[in-house]
Chains A and B, each alone.
Chain A
């Protein structure tokens, strides 16, 4: 580390704000979640717990809102007077589900506020969290409009995985200790493994070669995961993917603040788009009979 290095890298620090839209990345991982297909079964959440060594905090801490569900199914009940005011049928047709995992925003609000730059954007278009660097100021979580960042309020490893449960831990990633922020990584360990494998075999990474734990587990295939680089960079040699098809079909674009839709068949939207965070997850609106 010399002063010259610092001066050369200075432009990296001078960036005033996060830029949305396309960046010249190696990959551009994106997702599409079809709420029409989501049945709220929570399988994605369970798969995420298993894949990413998420601590099971227990009932009391869950009630204190100290749980670590990277992938959570948000459940919203309709207002009782929605529809025709049929309160008695409330339960039958009133719930909607919204699976929420880290939106991997292109203009992430969590990134500029971290004092130690523990969260940053990787050349894969991912919003990464470096556990070793995190000092636990928790500013990122406060500045996440989706509230998708979870903090290790305790050291969970002893209580969460007592012997012999520790043997179920995924060896591809670490178990986080107290005082560290964590969040959905789009299963970065799977991305890494697949990329390494493709590189060893001297070939392109293919669409559908691997997927995230939640997408893999979803019984209705509501979650689709893939590389979206081809959509924005025509010169890219990355293959086209199912996610690109879906995004194009539903006319959702990165770097657009608000998408105007008039055709009811086009259901795509991104959560809290007007905040200009430019998330990489597209949701397909649920169509309901009124």
Chain B
């Protein structure tokens, strides 16, 4: 969008964009990586190399160099695992929940959110493996047919985790792929060389005929319906890692909804970050408009308030509850050695999101970029502050201990961002990061909303339709495919 012309904040998207231009813009984003892209790849690889070095060292030496100790048996690894699992929930929120409630403003931004889901799950899944003392035996958690007749312990939340993560990863990757098929066909029609072969294979012979569209819609809706309860259950199961234990500060009944709210929260904040990055780097100003950013911000604000409520419910339940150790731990969180981090987390998680409620700040992209990053810092701190204070201060006073993670843990944490970034960067250059066919749909809808005759059909006001039958009920978005 040319500079100087003020954006129309009331419109999610400009209805005048030609459909061919949409194809052109999105396909352009997939080729000719600029310098900034290569720098980003370089930074990601650099961060990842840190983690690889640290992990090789840890693999050969044992868990000792990470400063893990008795009683801090879990630390950054599990906190970061929960953080990445949380990140993965936003994609499902945008693509599945908003799809079902027919909020069409999601259409230009759900594709990268869904990619984020898959990649953050791929990152999260590494952490339970990395944190194992004998990670070469990790497959013992899977119930496979063994000659020794040994099965995993089905009562352990860690086994549920393994099931939940693999199920969610498979489903979300499949959902991402299925939702991309019409777009892959557009790519196929415009590609040459190895890309042509790749997209031909991936688009599964999509021709865009009526039968294909009908089947596609059904499949997509079905998968969306399947994915919503799955996403909720996945983070509830992750929260069961803590809630099923007996430890003060972990044994909290409200943890499943609290974790799900936190997950959606950090995921939405990450969507804002990536939204701004993609908008800037790929010049997607026409699709990723300020109006959509505002809607995402409002959604994030609402979720942040749910999260804040549940946080205070947890405080109140502890404060008025009978468990003295739990109460002591809560006081220690506010006054003890981890108190700066804990108070920072409450500030970033509960106070900072109020900037999202201010219209002027919401429309300011640099401010939103900083806020979204800080919100995620807060959410990461939240996970850290769930895991570590409980370990440092539980029932046994003799084991009270304060521990700070060593470079090994920090390197692996940094590396996880590199790994996620690398996957995401590869994705945006190979697959369309904006859903072309759905943007066309959205524009089609918007264009015809003004036309009362067609609007009546679209809103299924049957009585009006019967009076004036309309002709324009063809499927949208076919010309590119």
Contacts and interface: CB of A to CB of B under 8 A. Distances in A.
B149 interface: yes
Interface stretch (A146-154, A238-246, A279-287): A146-154
Contacts of A35: none
B67 interface: yes
Contact of B64 (A74, A117, A154): A154
Contact of B156 (A114, A145, A150): A114
Interface string A168-192: 0000000000111100000000000
B396 interface: yes
B156 A5 contact: no
Contacts of B152: 115-117
Contact of B246 (A109, A115, A116, A181): A109
B141 A142 contact: no
Contacts, number: 163
B403 A115 contact: no
A158 to B, nearest CB: 12
A142 B133 contact: no
Contact of B133 (A76, A117, A181): A181
A6 B478 CA distance: 53
A105 to B, nearest CB: 11
A134 to B, nearest CB: 7
Given A65-B69, A138-B74, A115 B151 contact: no
Contacts of A15: 155
Contacts of B71: 65, 141-142, 147
B61 A154 contact: yes
Interface stretch (B8-16, B39-47, B157-165, B438-446): B157-165
Task: Categorize the interface residue count of chain A.
Answer: 35 or more
B5 interface: no
B138 interface: yes
A275 B246 contact: yes
A150 B63 CA distance: 12
B178 interface: no
User: Which one of B133, B397, B398 has the greatest number of beta carbons of chain A within 10 Å?
Assistant: B133
Interface in B30-82: 61-64, 67-74
A45 to B, nearest CB: 13
A1 B67 CA distance: 41
B212 interface: no
Given A109-B245, A143-B245, A147-B399, A133 B70 contact: no
B63 A153 contact: yes
Interface string A93-127: 00000101000000001001111110000000000
Contact of B244 (A6, A61, A64, A113): A113
B401 interface: yes
A147 B246 CA distance: 12
A40 to B, nearest CB: 13
A154 B62 contact: yes
Contacts of B397: 76
Nearest to A109: B246
Interface of A: 1, 5-6, 13, 15-16, 61, 64-67, 72, 74, 76, 98, 100, 109, 112-117, 133-139, 141-143, 145-147, 150-155, 178-181, 272, 275, 277
Given A113-B244, A117-B151, A178-B133, 5 more contacts: A1-B146, A66-B69, A115-B140, A115-B159, A151-B133
16 contacts: A1-B146, A15-B155, A66-B69, A67-B70, A112-B153, A112-B244, A113-B157, A113-B244, A115-B162, A117-B156, A137-B128, A139-B74, A145-B246, A151-B70, A179-B134, A277-B246
Q: Which 9 pairs show the lowest CB-CB distances between chains A and B? A: A136-B133, A179-B133, A153-B64, A178-B62, A138-B73, A65-B69, A115-B158, A117-B153, A179-B134
